Amino acid sequence: MSRRNPSLLVVCAAVNIIAGSWLAEPADARDSPSPEAYARQSLAEAPLIDGHNDLAIRLRERLGGIVSELDFKHGTDTDPRWQTDIAALRKGGVGGQFWSVYVPSSLSGDAAVRATLEQIDIVKRIIGANADDLAFATSASDIERAQTQGKIASLVGAEGGHAIGGSLGVLRQLYELGVRYMTLTHNRTIDIADAATDTAKHDGLSPFGEQVVREMNRLGMLVDLSHVSHATMHDVLAVSEAPVIFSHSSAYAIVPHMRNVPDDILKQLGANGGVVMVSLIPRATNSAVNQWAAAEAAESARLTALYPGEPERVAADLLRWRREHPVPATTLAQVADHIDHIRKTVGVEHIAIGSDLEGDRFRIVGMDTAAGFQELFAELARRGYLQAELKLISRGNILRVIREAENISARLRVQCGPNEQRLQ
């Protein structure tokens, strides 16, 4: 039975009404703005909330987590390794950012919990060091308040359920620290659920995973299904009372990458009310990049077998191979193809953006930095997306999901207390 929110139907009806009036306008209307101007206006009125940015782990890897060594005002101008700074976020029309607190899935237990806490600390120090431009946010109201203050709302999302170390108590404390979504797995299957890129152990969501999902609903923490197996997606949609998100995924029908969302799940998302935050990851956007990566891995294996004990020669020959076989270009038009498919399959009210900037060694043409969001929305405008639709994609849809999760949490907290777990 559909649980689709009545407010969602009102939004859809409004979009359809606007669409009808727009389509009735003469095609050669002289006062029609350019796609670029159309995108700028949309993002000025409804600044983008980006679902996923891996700046914190990159800062940890490159600078040992020393925030004072990061030029976060204009760092992309002086160091091309960075994709994110205040100037680029402003130029890109970003008004809200989920900062990922990712730790490697090779960590588990107390080590994973400690690393997650350190990542939260890094994010909060970035926010504190840039208080003129960033505002820590934990709710839909906080996001709206930041917009009125001219600041970028900064939220926290934990990437991978190994962050809680198998403990519902730790999950609750992460919520208290400001974490507002958690990706159930990263690349490895864990006690919560099967991952997309590892051997299945639970046929989807485990019994403990069901407890985790229900407790996340009670807390008001969004359940993120990027990185999980398709069976896990099915199971969570059957269990979750709140809308779910895919914080950085695209359409499986366009590119059959395991991060992406298949059509049967997209159709279930209509009843759930959740959103796919379409990614800007070349491997999830362009099949040719996946084929290139497979060829690179094969060449690396060949060279390693050919020159055992000669890592420098292997590295040099692999570098030569890369120069002779450049990575296929991935464009923002290909990103828009994924958005088009999701819109056609389940509706525009289930689309948002989750870039995964700083999270991949490959880059999309036009998205060297966060400033490129403007061009993505210009591409959508060129395809005929209306202002109302662009505003849903940029922030309206994810704000709705956050509010619905908050409302469901308020109800569940009255009905039941914390899901208690016997400690060992």
Say which of 159, 210, 349, 404 is annotated catalytic. Answer: 159
C-alpha–C-alpha distance, residues 20 and 2, integer Å: 27
C-alpha–C-alpha distance, residues 399 and 140, integer Å: 6
Read off the amino acid at residue 149. Q
Contact 273, 4 (CB under 8 A): yes
Contact 344, 268 (CB under 8 A): no
Which residue, among 83, 154, 29, has the nearest Cα to 38 in the 3D structure?
A: 29
C-alpha–C-alpha distance, residues 224 and 78, integer Å: 34
Q: Does the annotation mark 356 as catalytic? A: yes
Q: Does the annotation mark 257 as catalytic? A: no
Say which of 194, 337, 349, 356 is annotated catalytic. Answer: 356
Q: Does the annotation mark 54 as catalytic? A: yes
Contact 156, 174 (CB under 8 A): no
If one counts every other C-beta atom within 10 angstroms of the C-beta of residue 256, the result is: 11
Number of H helices and E strands in the chain, helices first, is 18, 9
Say which of 50, 54, 85, 235 is annotated catalytic. Answer: 54
Please state, in angstroms and as integers, the Cα–Cα distance from residue 275 to each residue in 151, 222, 256, following that order. Answer: 24, 11, 19
Element (H, E) at 92: none
Residue 49's beta-bridge partner residues? 96
Say which of 230, 248, 341, 350 is annotated catalytic. Answer: 248
Q: Does the annotation mark 341 as catalytic? A: no
Tokens of 345: 């399959």
Please state, in angstroms and as integers, the Cα–Cα distance from residue 115 to each residue in 121, 161, 328, 333, following that order. Answer: 10, 13, 35, 37
C-alpha–C-alpha distance, residues 323 and 355, integer Å: 27
Say which of 50, 52, 235, 375 is annotated catalytic. Answer: 52
Q: Does the annotation mark 202 as catalytic? A: no
Which residue, among 86, 176, 161, 167, has the nearest Cα to 126 in the 3D structure?
A: 86
Say which of 50, 142, 162, 186 is annotated catalytic. Answer: 186
C-alpha–C-alpha distance, residues 91 and 377, integer Å: 13
Say which of 202, 227, 230, 350 is annotated catalytic. Answer: 227
Element (H, E) at 158: strand 152-159
Which residues have CB under 8 Å from 97's CB, separation 6+?
49, 50, 53, 89, 152, 153, 154, 155
Q: Indicate the pairing of strand 275-278 with strand 351-353.
A: parallel
Q: What phi, psi does 158 have (nearest 5°)?
A: -90, 125
Residues marked as catalytic: 52, 54, 159, 186, 227, 248, 356
